[in-house]
Amino acid sequence: MKNAVFVAYSNHYPPISPSLFSLRVLLSLAVLAVAGVANSQTAHLVHGVTLVTGGQQGYLGVDANGNLYTVSNSAIGLKQSIRQLPYSETPIGSGLSDARGVVVDNSGNVYIADFGNNRVVKVPLTASGYGTQTTVGTGLNAPRGIAVDMSGNVYIADSANRVLKETLSGGTYAQSTIGSGFSATYGLAVDNSGNVYIVDAGSSTVYKETPSGSNYTQTTVGTGLSDPLAVAVDQSGNLYIADFGNNRILMETLNAGAYTQSVVLTSVTTPTIAVDGNGNIFASDISGNPSLSIQPGGVDFFRTSTGSSSLKGTLTFSFDSAGSVGGSSVFTKGEAGQDFADAGTGTCTTNGSSKLYSAGDTCTVDVVFSPKYTGNRVGATVLTDASGKRIATAYLYGQGVGPQITFLPDKVTTLLTRTSPILSLDVDDSGNLYLADTGNHQILEEKPTGSSYAETGVDSGLFNSFSVAVDGGGSVYFPDPGTNQVFKETPSGSGFIQTVVPVMNAYRGTAYVAVDPSGNVYISLSNGGSIVKETLSGETYTESAVATIGNIAAMSVDSVGNVYLTDQDTGSVVKETLSAGGYTQSTVALAATTSAVAVDGTGPSTSRTRTKAFSKKVLRPPDTRRASS
């Protein structure tokens, strides 16, 4: 799809007839009746593995927003904003010598285990950047493991085989010892409950130290380890172990106080591991290759220059039920053969359609990212069965990097004019427009045919069609306030298969919808002005709250999960910034009337509404996923 901004205009909100509304309610009940009926054969994404290029390789850490921090034999550490445009690298610390660990606290302060200088340094984050570094603790002997808890207390594993706790109080630290009997302490982690996880490579054991009054109770986690070197813990208390001697990464899943072990990745030799706020795992590779990113949800290919290709990323699928793979397809916002492509080397492809998989078996799809344009790009990998039905979808995204210049004067081309109001549109990578035709209570698809468009209906009989969004696989989402539901239309052959995105408080009125690169759906509820997020895992959704705004007129979401809202009461554009699983609210812009918001790779833009759709050509295309309302 060529570089363009697409805008919808409308200036009135027509009513719907009672008979049409009654018909829509009956149709919605029918959809609900079949929405829970699954395809007899299903599979799901286990994880995608991609490579993080740039910066320096070495021991790594990650903050809640997915920024990567690395230390090595360099005199400085490095922060890499790997998920944002423009990409940046920020030096952190000074005078380091063979640093062996780096962590970040909730305030953004960075702690580095400075092995060669027998110290731990703290580099504070201030309003103007990173401040003057200080030291934490005394009497250290070549520290090689470090962790920090939610209160700012620092945990240090040093070469004297001790684990020290530096308890923060009033700006100073008090030192104490945790556990005993260790023979070679390396990696450390601490969870939200204050449990401390200690890697003892000498005994090939991971110890868990559980707070008990002023002391700790020691237990072990994991079996079959060989020379483990690092450990990390996620928001749910699940543990990840770099099992160095066995060339693998393990996951210990916590459930009702007990752990279940599974293998995350094999054929990887890593001395360090970290996990971000979304459960994405980062691991270094001692062979000098780029760091690995292991992602259980949407698969991020990070930055790639336009006109070039990324290193291959591997997606692993697991079969929930027996069957074969009729085919695997890779799309860029619904279009094949664009930015994301199947490398053809994965086992889902090479095993062929005659291969019969049992439940629990896995196969892989190898994907290459070759962005044609700059900015955020979204896509999906789809597995189908022998009949062509979708059995699994994995969402993909990445950032195209290149020149970003706007030609002046801008060329504006009217694409189509309608007599009925268009309150929202989105566009796929083929240039097909999807319109919320409010005047006729329907969702339309407009396919370019030469100098005009061919119109087909996606759905009709809606109470009011305020919003429409398209995901990386070409599925179309729209709310129906009359039935308090959000519908998902998944491409199938020449048409769509309709399902319902469940909303717990749907009785409050579904008004606007957006979808992020990972397939998570964001829904505004008109009664009460709240926003909910439906987080996708496999084929199911888990609901959580995002924010409450007075009078929401439009909504958009960027590539890292930040949500942008327009408030008609104040004329403001509000940003809900995602961090550590929660949101922080700020105001981006103020205007007399703001009824639309869209986000590209560099931030939001806003508009008012009329009755035309037009395109505006630019060299750097925006993220047209969300040209809403």
pLDDT band at 404 (very low <50, low <70, confident <90, very high): low
> Tens of pLDDT along 203-234?
999 999 999 998 999 999 999 999 999 999 99
Average pLDDT over residues 350-378: 93
pLDDT at residue 627 tops 70: no
Average pLDDT over residues 490-508: 81
Q: What is the structure's pLDDT at 581?
A: 72
Where on the phi/psi map is residue 526: left (φ > 0), alpha (ψ -120 to 50), or beta?
alpha
Q: What is the structure's pLDDT at 506?
A: 58
Q: If we measure between CA atoms, which residue out of 503, 505, 524 comes closest to residue 513?
A: 524
Percent of the chain residues topping a pLDDT of 90: 48
CB 154 within 8 A of CB 110: no
pLDDT at residue 626 tops 60: no
Minimum mean pLDDT range among 177-186, 237-246, 476-485, 597-606: 597-606
Q: What is the structure's pLDDT at 69?
A: 94
206 alpha-carbon distance from chain centroid: 29
Average pLDDT over residues 402-408: 65
Which CATH architecture describes the domain 298-401?
Answer: Sandwich (2.60)
Residue with more model confidence, 551 or 408: 551
pLDDT at residue 601 tops 70: no
pLDDT at residue 5 tops 60: no
Half-sphere exposure of 505 (CA within 13 A, CB side): 16
pLDDT band at 15 (very low <50, low <70, confident <90, very high): very low
Q: What is the structure's pLDDT at 616?
A: 42
pLDDT at residue 24 tops 60: no
> Tens of pLDDT along 148-200?
999 999 999 999 999 999 999 988 999 999 999 999 999 999 999 999 999 99
Q: For strands 59-62 and 68-71, give the pairing.
A: antiparallel
> Tens of pLDDT along 60-73?
999 987 889 999 88
pLDDT at residue 257 tops 90: no
Residue with more model confidence, 470 or 65: 470
Half-sphere exposure of 309 (CA within 13 A, CB side): 10
The pTM assigned to this predicted structure is 0.82
Q: How far apart (Å, rounded) are the C-alpha atoms in residues 453 and 351?
A: 41
Burial per residue of 497-525, b for 16 or more beta-carbon CB atoms within 10 angstroms, e otherwise: ebbbbbbebbebbbbbbbbbbbbbbbbbb
Q: If we measure between CA atoms, which residue out of 524, 503, 530, 500 comes closest to residue 512?
A: 524
Average pLDDT over residues 580-606: 68
CATH 3.40.50.1110 fits 52-285, yes or no: no
Please, which residues have CB within 8 angstroms of residue 127's CB and are 6 or more apart in sequence? none
Q: What is the CATH number assigned to the segment(s) 419-615?
A: 2.120.10.30
Q: 52-285 with 419-615: one CATH topology? A: yes
pLDDT at residue 84 tops 80: no
Task: Provide the token pair at 472.
Answer: 């990386």
Q: Where are the alpha helices (DSSP H) in 150-266?
A: none
> Tens of pLDDT along 158-171?
999 999 999 999 88
Task: Provide the token pair at 603.
Answer: 């931030």
- The domain ranges of the chain are 52-285, 298-401, 419-615
Residue with more model confidence, 447 or 8: 447
> 76-85, 145-154, 401-410: which has the highest mean pLDDT?
145-154
Q: What is the structure's pLDDT at 514?
A: 92
Q: For strands 230-233 and 327-332, give the pairing.
A: unpaired
CB 240 within 8 A of CB 233: yes
> Tens of pLDDT along 377-402?
999 999 999 888 899 999 999 988 88
pLDDT at residue 561 tops 80: yes
Q: How far apart (Å, rounded) are the C-alpha atoms in residues 550 and 570?
A: 9
pLDDT band at 606 (very low <50, low <70, confident <90, very high): very low
> Tens of pLDDT along 301-352?
988 999 899 989 999 999 999 999 999 999 999 889 999 999 999 999 999 9
